[in-house]
């Protein structure tokens, strides 16, 4: 026996309902609710009481329509299911929540095509601002420039474009790479392989440069065959390392561009009978959790993922508040954490 379809009607407590209930006008209710001028204390009290009792919430869309602000920011990132990016998301989410903003997520899945579609679909007047990290495939940035040109406050983080002038938040990739390479050298490594990221990405470039400069500082000639570029995945690390173990002169250290790749490298080294760190010292860039879980623990330059997210969001709010603000590039300091995977000498 089916009951006649009962349509659950969404909560209809509007400002008009309150006004009718109290026998006053909607404008008075509105003013009472924002502790504004032009309303007597008694009326205000009555309105507020009833609003609380009825659990009145203003319709955010109606408000947005007239106020031209949405209290929503967009976050566009290449992936979410890695510790690094999910930690960034947490940082963003925390400061946005604190500021009373809602967060809308978009994942490009490392595909420019999808990135473009997302931006196209994303109506500009839905967002007060945008936080973005580009996909690996993103070589050109017109799709971003168009949105920014239309007046959408934007801050890039991690994967930042070179040719757009907005605020940006990045890691100190260069210094981190320099330090960790220097550390390898001090451990006695002389034939250090660099498992690099995509060539065109700024942070990958910076890490490569840090590596090169550290070698130069110690008068070690960089070897072309010791540098290999690919993506950021564990599989990339595994494959590239499998190649590298066949290259002469034989490697004695690996600097991976990120932690997933380092883990791929570790697995490959084990597969081919190399011991870490005695045969090959291994270091990487990464966020915290992974590095402490593998055996041996990974020496890494830790990326302050949470802080990157939080800072980006803060910067975005600054710019929303003050649209004429000068673009600002924040470089988060990097910190070298030495663990077992690189400790040869002993």
Partner DNA sequence: TTTAACGCCGCAAACGTTTCCGAAAATTTG
Partner DNA sequence: CAAATTTTCGGAAACGTTTGCGGCGTTAAA
**Binding residues vs DNA (CB under 7 A):** 12, 14-16, 23-28, 30-31, 33-34, 37-43, 56-59, 62-63, 65-67, 125
**Which x/- pattern, by CB under 8 A, does the window 67-86 give for a copy of itself?**
-x-x-x------xxxxx--x
Q: Minimum distance from CB of 158 to a copy of itself (Å)? A: 15
Note whether 59 binds a copy of itself by CB under 8 A: yes
Query: Cis (ω within 30 of 0) for the bond into 241?
Result: no
User: What is the nearest approach in angstroms of a copy of itself to the Cβ of residue 119?
Assistant: 11
The count of other CB atoms within 10 Å of the CB of residue 324 is: 5
Rounded Cα distance, 278 and 287, in Å: 24
Residue 323 as a binder of a copy of itself (CB under 8 A): the answer is: yes
The secondary element (H helix, E strand) that includes residue 148 is helix 142-149
Is residue 7 part of the contact set for a copy of itself (CB under 8 A)?
Answer: yes
Q: Is residue 58 close enough to count as binding a copy of itself by CB under 8 A?
A: yes
64/66 Cα distance (integer angstroms): 5
Q: Which one of DNA, a copy of itself, none interacts with residue 24, CB within 5 to 8 A by kind?
A: DNA
Distant-in-sequence, close-in-space partners of 126: CB < 8 Å, separation ≥ 6: 70, 72, 74, 104
**Which residue in 10, 34, 219, 321 binds a copy of itself (CB under 8 A)?**
10
Tally of CB atoms within 10 A around 254: 31
| Binding positions for a copy of itself, 136-165, rule CB under 8 A | 150-152
Q: How far apart, in Å, are the Cα atoms of 42 and each of 31, 112, 130, 177, 178?
A: 13, 58, 43, 66, 68
Our CB check for DNA shows the closer of 59 and 322 to be 59
Q: Tell me how far, at minimum, the Cβ of 171 lies from DNA, in Å.
A: 40
What is the DSSP track for 9-62? ------HHHHHHHHTS-HHHHHHHHTT-SS--HHHHHHHHHHHHHTT----HHH
Binding site for a copy of itself (CB under 8 A): 5-11, 57-62, 64-65, 68, 70, 72, 79-83, 86-87, 89-90, 93-94, 97, 100, 102-107, 118, 121, 123-126, 150-152, 234, 263, 289-290, 293-295, 323-324
């Amino acid at each position: 026996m089916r009951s006649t379809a009962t349509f659950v009607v969404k909560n209809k407590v509007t400002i008009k309902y309150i006004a009718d209930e109290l026998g006053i006008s909607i404008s008075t209710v509105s003013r009472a609710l924002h502790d504004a001028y032009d309303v007597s204390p008694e009326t205000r009290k009555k309105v507020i009481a009833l609003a609380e009792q009825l659990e009145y919430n203003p319709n955010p869309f109606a408000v947005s329509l007239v106020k031209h602000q949405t209290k929503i920011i967009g976050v566009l990132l290449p992936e979410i299911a890695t510790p690094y990016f999910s930690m960034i998301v947490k940082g963003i989410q925390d400061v946005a929540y604190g500021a009373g903003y809602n967060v809308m997520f978009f994942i490009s899945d490392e595909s420019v095509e999808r990135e473009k579609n997302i931006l196209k679909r994303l109506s500009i007047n839905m967002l007060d601002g945008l936080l973005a990290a580009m996909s690996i495939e993103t070589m050109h940035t017109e799709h971003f420039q168009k949105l920014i040109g239309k007046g959408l406050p934007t801050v890039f983080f991690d994967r930042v474009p070179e040719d757009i002038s907005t605020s940006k938040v990045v890691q100190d990739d260069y210094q981190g790479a320099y330090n960790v390479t220097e550390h390898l050298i001090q451990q006695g490594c002389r034939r250090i392989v660099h498992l690099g990221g995509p060539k065109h990405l700024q942070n990958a470039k910076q890490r490569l440069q840090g590596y090169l400069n550290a070698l130069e500082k110690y008068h070690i000639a960089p070897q072309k065959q010791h540098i290999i570029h690919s993506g950021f995945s564990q599989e990339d690390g595994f494959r590239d390392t499998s190649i590298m173990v066949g290259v002469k002169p034989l490697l004695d250290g690996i600097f991976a561009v990120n932690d997933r790749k380092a883990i791929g490298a570790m697995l490959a080294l084990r597969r081919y009978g190399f011991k870490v760190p005695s045969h090959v010292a291994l270091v990487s860039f990464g966020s915290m959790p992974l590095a402490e879980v593998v055996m041996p623990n990974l020496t890494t330059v830790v990326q302050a993922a949470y802080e990157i997210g939080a800072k980006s969001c803060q910067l975005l709010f600054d710019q929303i508040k003050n649209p004429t603000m000068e673009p600002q590039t924040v470089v988060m300091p990097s910190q070298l954490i030495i663990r077992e995977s690189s400790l040869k000498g002993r």
